[in-house]
Amino acid sequence: ESTVCVRTVYTWEEVQKHSQRGDQWVVIERKVYNVSNWVKRHPGGHRVITHYAGEDASDAFMAFHPDQTFVRKFLKPLLVGELAPSEPSQDHKKNAALVNDFRALRDQFKAEGLFRTSPLFFCLHLGHILLLEALPLALMSFLSFLIQSQAGWLQHDFGHLSVFKRSRWDHLLHKFVIGHLKGASAHWWNHRHFQHHAKPNVFKKDPDINMLNILVLGNVQPVEYGIKKLKHLPYNHQHQYFFLIGPPLLIPVYFNIHIFQTMIQQRDWVDFAWYLSYYIRYLSCFVPFYGVFGSFALLMCVRFIESHWFVWVTQMNHLSMDVDYEKHDDWLSMQLKATCNIEQSFFNDWFSGHLNFQIEHHLFPMMPRHNYIHAAPRVKELCKKYGIHYEVKGLWEAWCDIIRQIQSQGRDSPGS
């Protein structure tokens, strides 16, 4: 347990001093918690908490924890005080009215049952995946990439704890779908994906925009590279080589290597067992028909096609939006700057796993995806009230914007 300080009232200036590694405080609903030692044991990973060190984490806390009564048991021994009565509830001069209206909207959604799941929806979704998996082997080579992509959207639902009332069932089904049906790691996905949700499109905090010097993004990074005279690749051609190293290689090369490396380094033998179960099942089904080499060739082909699907769907909502360093925006403004929606249609819903409602998903990550369509109009109204741009694009327009954006950013890079 933390040692409770004699002084129990703090100003924001005092709280913000505790934002370094090994000395990290967060504020949740005006209460101040010392999470310096807890971050290493946090089930969602230490980086998600670290990103909010010295800040108000109230909305992030509400967004990611379904059973808050249970979680507060762990917070209680970490309590070191509260904000002084003279201090505002929001830090960094955030718009208090906007924050309060957003929280009121979230409470309305809860009261109206938009966070209550429809078990039938997800049972039918899992059922159609298992049905596709069980189709005659002659069709498997054609359908495998469909199965992998749709299973990817379903594991995303379980990973966000948006299916069951008891999160342990979400965790179990998440391991089954991502491990046994996809050959990946739930632990790896959680620690990577929650960082993206906590700070989308924020340099050094969102791993999804860590391009390993392959691409330059946003308006700031190209200028920064120019000042430092950094030119690892011909960035003025990045909109062209993106087609060669982005969609084709993300899943079959980068993700596969990173997943395996993470499981071994973390000694995550539970996820490793689920991971192996996928390959045992896959090889036992295909080797008798295609041989070992043919089976692995088919698998790489499926991963190659799935990777294209995954990259275009996940990046159409983010890559053409604002990419910058930390600006300490409120939850609503931060998510809207980094996110746009894609027009609703039956095909777009199915094709993207309802991530065409990316705005609602980012604001309410635990909301079941079949309810996004009901939440969207009122989120749009709230944005209009505060002059926050709520962007909706067509599917083809969004894909073209990805290329237009990285081409523009490449032109501003060094050596262009």
Beta strands 79-83 and 9-10: pairing type? parallel
Average pLDDT, the chain: 91
Which residue, 77, 72, 81, 35, is CA-closest to 54? 35
pLDDT at position 6, please?
A: 45
Per-residue tokens: 177 = 């779908």
pLDDT at position 325, please?
A: 95
- 155 exposure class (CB count in 10 Å sphere: 0-12, 13-18, 19+): buried
pLDDT tens per residue, range 191-247: 999 999 999 999 999 999 999 889 999 989 988 888 888 888 899 899 999 999 999
Residue type for position 39: V
Taking the C-alpha atoms of residue 174 and residue 194, their distance in angstroms, rounded to an integer, is 14
pLDDT above 60 for 252: yes
CA angle 34, 36, 37 (to 5 degrees): 110
Please compute the mean of the pLDDT values over residues 73-101 and round it to a whole number: 92
Confidence (pTM): 0.83
pLDDT band (50, 70, 90) for residue 3:
very low
pLDDT band (50, 70, 90) for residue 7:
low
Taking the C-alpha atoms of residue 44 and residue 193, their distance in angstroms, rounded to an integer, is 10
